[in-house]
């Protein structure tokens, strides 16, 4: 069962106006719900219930339907991204070098599963595919910092820097 973010919603009036304006302009378009969610995610970074309610209300669709679409496509995120976005490469080279294990350890240490964000909004964790640094495998990035030839023992020290 999907777990929902406990990070408080911090959307601004401005973001809401931007979303509503887009929805009003496009609501007659056939099949508008998916692009509407894409727009909403572009504005807010993720699709919490507060945002999906706006989409459902303006489009006149049931929230259950909007939610169904938001959970069908992997590119939609229901969790916010953290101040520090951790991305672990699960591409072939990194994976054979043990990045799967690193990803698991990070989930344990942060107490979240992939795609989620810690309750304090500090770290979010995602898996990604090859970032082109196979020579450094296994690799992860935290925002723009790249960490290569990782071992599980280093993780605490790295996280402590943020």
Contact assessment for residue 79 and residue 120, using Cβ atoms and an 8 Å cutoff? no
Contact assessment for residue 77 and residue 88, using Cβ atoms and an 8 Å cutoff? no
Residue 61 CB, shortest distance to another protein, in Å, is 8
Residue 28 interacts with another protein (CB under 8 A): yes or no: no
The helix (run of H) or strand (run of E) holding residue 89 is strand 84-89
Residue 62 CB, shortest distance to another protein, in Å, is 3
Residue 1 interacts with another protein (CB under 8 A): yes or no: yes
Residue 78 CB, shortest distance to another protein, in Å, is 8
Selection from 47, 101, 98, 96 nearest residue 74 by Cα: 47
Smaller CB separation from another protein, 66 or 94: 66
Contact assessment for residue 20 and residue 54, using Cβ atoms and an 8 Å cutoff? yes
Residue 71 interacts with another protein (CB under 8 A): yes or no: yes
What is the maximum alpha-carbon separation in the chain?
A: 55
Considering only residues 30 to 49 of the shown chain, the ones binding another protein according to CB under 8 A are 49
Among 13, 14, 31, 72, binds another protein (CB under 8 A): 72
Smaller CB separation from another protein, 18 or 38: 38
Selection from 50, 58, 6 nearest residue 29 by Cα: 58
Where on the chain is the footprint of another protein (CB under 8 A)? 1-2, 4, 49, 52, 61-68, 71-72
């Amino acid at each position: 069962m999907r777990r929902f973010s406990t990070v408080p919603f911090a959307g601004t009036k401005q973001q809401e106006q931007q979303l509503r304006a887009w929805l009003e302009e496009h609501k007659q378009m056939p099949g508008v719900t998916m692009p509407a969610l894409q727009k909403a995610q572009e504005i807010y970074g993720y699709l919490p219930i507060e945002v999906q309610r706006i989409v459902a209300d303006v489009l006149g669709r049931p929230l259950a339907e909007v939610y169904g679409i938001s959970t069908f496509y992997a590119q939609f995120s229901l969790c916010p991204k953290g101040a520090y976005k951790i991305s672990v490469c699960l591409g072939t080279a990194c994976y054979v070098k043990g990045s799967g294990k690193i990803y698991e350890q990070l989930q344990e240490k942060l107490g979240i599963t992939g795609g989620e964000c810690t309750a304090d909004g500090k770290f979010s964790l995602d898996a990604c595919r090859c970032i082109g640094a196979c020579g450094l495998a296994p690799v992860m990035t935290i925002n723009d910092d790249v960490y290569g030839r990782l071992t599980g023992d280093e993780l605490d020290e790295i996280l402590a820097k943020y």
